[in-house]
Amino acid sequence: MRFLALGINHKTAPVAIRERVAFTPEQLEAASLQLRNHQSIKEVAILSTCNRTEIYTLIEAGNVRPVLDWLSDFHSLPIEDLARYSYIHEDQAAIAHMMRVASGLDSMVLGEPQILGQLKDSYDLAKKENLLGTGLELLFQQVFATAKQVRTETGIGTNPVSVAYAAVSLAQRIFADLKTSTALLIGAGETIELVARHLKNAGVAKMIIANRTVERAQALADEVQGRAVALSEIPHQLEKADIVISSTAAPLPILGKGMVEQALKKRRHKPIFMVDIAVPRDIEPQVGELDDIFLFTVDDLKEVIEENLAARREAAEEAELLISKSVQAFLRDLRVRDAGRMIRVFRQRAQQLAEQELALALSQLDQGQDARDIMQKLCRNLTNKWLHDPTLKIREASAENRSDLLAAASQLLNLDTSDKL
């Protein structure tokens, strides 16, 4: 058995590919169960965000291809395209990758904290559906502990930088004074919550939160002194918006070219700044072709994000060292657990031999045989039976000139062969 991490992210694939392999929240449960039913896969968890889709499994040795094939079939994506844009990490590399992801070292925004919460959501779902065994359970706990250590012992979280922060930062460049601007935020998830808080801190005059569940939008609106509306009201609210930032899990675009054209007419072509953070995209790409529309996707934010990373790079080097140590500690714990199973088997065998000889000795005592002779025979038999297999293996190793096995036996049995007995 081995750990496997297979995925596609913002470094390996454009948004057009990433949105095709992304899982909606409604798909995740069924997809996870479906993959778990494959005979070679023992444990599974799936992470799907706007920037990455990753599958973590404990899989039989030599069977990496089934995961790639399954992902290709599930999303109806040609295997050649998927193989071109995907990456596969195994065992130690998979463990280190998960720790880097959880710590924000593999994110578009170095050190961003949101990914850890998203990874915990993936773990919770897998746990709920009984998709985790001892292997991934232990790995996730080590990953979370390492991410916490990185967050507390390095400066990776200083100087707030995120996709949300970058989007607002870009808006500040385009609008001289956000205090006279109205923002329409579509969605009410964690990313939009961050956007709303950044906009509020930047002094945006008005905020409109549109979401499928109005109650959730209202909770966010109350926090930022905004207004909550249903998604169906977007066409009427769009004409009021100077800034539109969208991040939902909708499978199809929410804003189409026609809708935006109508809003521009009512605005008398006053420009609208738009950022589509969602994968799959919430805003049709054709919207960007319209005059007076400045449309950016998550990929367009990279330049803005890069300018805010300098302070985190040194901390990232420290984090990499912590992760390296954590990987080795985890592998050591796994080896100790494996040794524990071996020790249990060894002790059980010794116990069985002892019980067999004890039963024989008690039977002989009941028959009235001499107790001293019985005790001597018990001691001799136990010694011979306990040492039979090790003695045989030592002789075989010596005959085959296996000095490595002889040295290991000497160390395991705590022998000093220089002693004269």
pLDDT at 411: 84
What residue ranges define each of the domains in the chain, with the CATH number in brackets?
Answer: 2-157 (3.30.460.30), 163-304 (3.40.50.720), 355-412 (no CATH)
Cβ–Cβ < 8 Å for 67, 41: yes
pLDDT at 200: 92
User: Cα separation of 30 and 41, whole Å?
Assistant: 16
Mark out the alpha helices in 155-256 (DSSP H runs).
163-174, 190-202, 214-224, 234-238
β-pairing, 272-276 vs 243-246, is parallel
pLDDT at 159: 67
pLDDT at 86: 94
pLDDT at 416: 74
Number of helical H runs and strand E runs in the chain: 16, 10
pLDDT at 62: 62
Taking each helix axis from N to C end, the angle separating 114-128 and 92-102, rounded to the nearest 10 degrees, works out to 120
pLDDT per residue as tens, the chain (421 positions): 789 999 999 999 999 999 999 999 889 999 999 999 887 898 999 999 989 999 999 987 666 788 999 999 999 999 998 999 999 999 999 999 999 999 999 998 888 888 999 999 999 999 999 999 999 999 999 999 999 999 999 988 776 677 888 888 888 888 878 899 999 999 999 899 999 999 998 899 899 999 999 999 999 999 999 999 999 999 999 999 999 999 998 999 999 999 999 999 999 999 999 999 998 999 999 999 999 999 999 888 877 777 777 778 889 999 999 999 999 999 999 888 877 777 888 888 888 888 888 998 899 999 989 999 899 988 998 888 888 888 888 898 889 999 888 888 888 888 876 655 4
Q: Which residue is listed with tokens 């966010």?
A: 220
pLDDT at 405: 87
Give Dmax (Cα) for the chain: 113
User: Cα separation of 52 and 55, whole Å?
Assistant: 10
Phi and psi at 47, nearest 5°, equal -110, 130
Catalytic residue among 31, 35, 44, 50: 50
User: Cα separation of 411 and 395, whole Å?
Assistant: 16
Cβ–Cβ < 8 Å for 81, 329: no
Q: Verify whether residue 50 is a known catalytic residue.
A: yes
Q: Lay out the sheet containing 41-48: strands in order across.
A: 41-48, 52-59, 2-9, 87-90
Three-state DSSP class for 229?
A: strand
Phi and psi at 356, nearest 5°, equal -65, -45
Paired tokens of 140: 């996730």
